[in-house]
């Protein structure tokens, strides 16, 4: 085997079996990861025999569920090497970034202030800041990429001024797999007095997270990309920043005391969690973190690097494939097959039982930068293996024969 660390976990993932039990090669984990039985079982239990509301019940079942819910918060804190009271449960990364824009952003940014994004950001780390710009008049700058598709931190250093109050970068690009040096970005942002927000969607399933070491100020990710359920995600922020942020959505659970004259609010993180939370999903996310940590983030990183390196090497043997992104991209490979639209490639591959993503990947400014309307993207998970790559290569060859 070409891989240093073969994982063979496929039998833990019912979602990897195509209907009828045929071979199915799932290469769209960057969009969402399939779920291991450990996570499915935990959510079924939470929705079944353990189910009850949290926080308000005086009966034992609700008290137990409240313990499980808050244990999930502790699990997330441990997963990120952060404090428990710095973990806000959200609906996902998109909501996490909108929350920061609408609370911290609206309270702290004004006309004349600047935000630095990068060319490779996902729309969910662009549009919330544009909405904020409409409200506050804040200006947005865009940090260019290096030739091989990384956020160019030398350029960032040149661009940043004391007017910059926020730098918001992806940790791992969902199109190119390029990895940001977070500590370095934090140093640059903090040198001009700006905060650093990291979109960790693609990093959380692939790299060990360490809020203490990263030294960023906000970190956002979704559970569904790290083998957990949809409908839940995390916003991590430094305690002193969270404490200073005004409430966001109003409702139950986020208050201290309500009268018609005046309402006082709960402290963070509850202040940002109005309404009945995603209880089942929180338990499922904690189970996913148990599972992923059990396999080992170091193995995840190595496995996905190895697979991406292997696929790039195989694709480079063809003279009709263009590869996007750096050599050491993590688990995600974007490419184009000459003369074939990525959607056509994706459709033919689907007939072969190979699921890839074809499109702009919610990163239209990056597509414009690459000079293409779309790319084909193969992305790996812990369950991915060389058979998936072989099937993809076979499908590409068949597509070539069809298109000539």
Annotated catalytic residues are 362
Q: Is 375 or 399 the residue whose CB approaches ligand PMP more closely?
A: 375
Whole-Å CA distances, 302 to 176, 313, 393: 17, 16, 22
What the block records as the tokens of 275 is 């309404």
3-state class (DSSP) for residue 140: strand
Please say whether the beta carbons of 239 and 86 come within 8 A: yes
3-state class (DSSP) for residue 355: strand
**Radius of gyration of the chain measured on its C-alpha atoms:** 22
**Interface residues with ligand PMP (CB under 6 A)?**
92-94, 122, 124-125, 170, 174, 199, 201-202, 222, 362
Provide the sign of the torsion angle of the four alpha carbons 102, 119, 90, 163, taken in this order. negative
**Nearest by Cα to 75 from 65, 87, 66:** 87
Buried b (16+ CB within 10 A) or exposed e, 351-361: ebebbbbbbbb
What are the contacts of 161-164 at 24+ separation with CB within 8 A? 161/114, 161/192, 162/192, 162/193, 163/112, 163/113, 163/114, 163/139, 164/113, 164/114, 164/115, 164/116, 164/189, 164/192, 164/193, 164/194
Query: Terminus-to-terminus CA distance in the chain, angstroms?
Result: 32
Cβ 45 to ligand PMP shortest distance, Å: 24
Instruction: Give every CB contact of residue 35 below 8 A, 6+ residues apart in sequence.
Output: 13, 14, 15, 227, 228, 229, 288
- Dist. CA 337–CA 376, nearest whole Å: 8
Please say whether the beta carbons of 226 and 206 come within 8 A: no
Cβ 229 to ligand PMP shortest distance, Å: 11
């Amino acid at each position: 085997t070409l891989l240093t660390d073969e994982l063979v976990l496929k039998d833990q993932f019912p979602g990897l079996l195509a209907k009828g039990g045929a071979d199915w090669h799932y290469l769209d984990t960057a969009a969402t990861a399939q779920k291991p039985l450990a996570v499915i079982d935990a959510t079924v239990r939470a929705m079944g025999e353990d189910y009850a509301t949290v926080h308000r019940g005086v009966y034992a079942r609700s008290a137990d569920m409240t313990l499980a819910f808050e244990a999930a918060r502790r699990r997330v804190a441990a997963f990120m090497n952060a404090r428990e009271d710095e973990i806000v449960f959200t609906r996902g990364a998109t909501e996490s970034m909108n929350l920061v824009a609408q609370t911290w952003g609206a309270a702290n940014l004004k006309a004349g202030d600047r935000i630095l994004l990068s060319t490779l950001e996902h729309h969910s780390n662009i549009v919330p800041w544009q909405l904020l710009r409409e409200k506050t008049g804040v200006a947005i700058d865009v940090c260019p990429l290096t030739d091989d598709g990384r956020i160019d931190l030398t350029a960032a250093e040149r661009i940043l001024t004391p007017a910059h109050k926020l730098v918001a970068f992806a940790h791992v690009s969902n199109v190119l797999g390029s990895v940001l040096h977070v500590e370095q970005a934090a140093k640059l942002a903090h040198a001009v007095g700006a905060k650093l927000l990291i979109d960790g969607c693609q990093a959380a399933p692939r790299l060990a997270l360490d809020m203490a070491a990263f030294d960023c100020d906000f970190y956002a990710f979704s559970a569904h990309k790290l083998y957990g359920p949809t409908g839940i995600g995390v916003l991590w922020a430094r305690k002193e920043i969270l404490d200073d942020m005004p409430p966001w959505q109003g409702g139950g659970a986020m208050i201290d005391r309500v009268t018609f004259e005046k309402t006082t609010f709960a402290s963070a993180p509850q202040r940002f969690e109005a309404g009945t939370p995603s209880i089942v999903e929180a338990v499922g996310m904690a189970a996913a973190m148990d599972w992923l940590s059990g396999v080992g983030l170091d193995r995840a990183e190595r496995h996905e690097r190895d697979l991406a390196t292997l696929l790039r090497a195989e694709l480079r043997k063809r003279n009709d494939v263009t590869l996007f992104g750096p050599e050491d991209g993590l688990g995600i490979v974007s490419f184009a097959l000459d003369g074939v639209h990525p959607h056509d490639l994706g459709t033919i591959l689907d007939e072969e039982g190979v699921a890839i993503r074809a499109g702009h990947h919610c990163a239209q400014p990056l597509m414009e930068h690459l000079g293409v309307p779309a790319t084909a993207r193969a992305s790996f998970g812990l369950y991915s293996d060389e058979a998936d790559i072989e099937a993809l290569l076979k499908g590409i060859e068949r597509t070539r024969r069809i298109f000539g």
